[in-house]
Amino acid sequence: MKKFVTAALMATLAITTTASMAAVDKPSKAVAVKFKAGASGATYNGKIKGYGYDQYSFYAKKGQALKVVTTGNVDSYLFHNRLADSVNLGEYSSDLDSNGDYILPYTGTYQVKVMQTRNDARKGKAPSYTLQLTIR
């Protein structure tokens, strides 16, 4: 009986942990980035609540330069399935070149995730932001 209760408790814990992790890993807003004809950039606005994040997806080719500028008290990170880790796109990131660009290492779909710091999320802040994304 003791083994059964322990197994049931562990199964319940595993299910609730997986469900809560899945809920956190889902973007609050998912946007497919679209550029107007002849344009190489786009601007979006949003608001981050709690531990959520907004995700902006786009297709780009290897060697293109990505520039991301945000206003508001938010952070932005770049993801791609072949990158070993996320890339900090913040103004003072060591991942950026002297022009503030990140040279994309792969062809494919990338995601920029905009989020607030964990400390601000704990405080219940909900910052508004503007995201300017340019690919050259």
Compute mean pLDDT per 10 residues along the chain, 136 residues long, and list them. Answer: 50 42 71 94 96 97 98 97 96 95 98 96 96 97
Residue-level pLDDT at 18: 36
Q: How far apart are the first and last CA of the chain?
A: 65
Phi-psi region of 8 (alpha: psi -120 to 50; beta: other; left: phi over 0): alpha
Beta strand residue intervals within 1-136, DSSP E? 29-32, 41-47, 53-60, 65-71, 75-79, 87-88, 102-103, 108-115, 128-135
54: which strand partners? 29, 114
pTM listed for this prediction: 0.80
Q: What is the dihedral of CA 21, 27, 86, 90, to 10 degrees?
A: -130
SS3 126: coil
Classified by CATH at the fold level, domain 28-135 comes out as Jelly Rolls (2.60.120)
**Nearest residue to 86 (alpha-carbon basis) of 102, 74, 108, 107:** 102
Q: What residue segments make up the domains of the chain, in order of their start?
A: 28-135
Say how many residues make up the chain.
136
Q: Can you read off the two tokens belonging to residue 11?
A: 């199964």
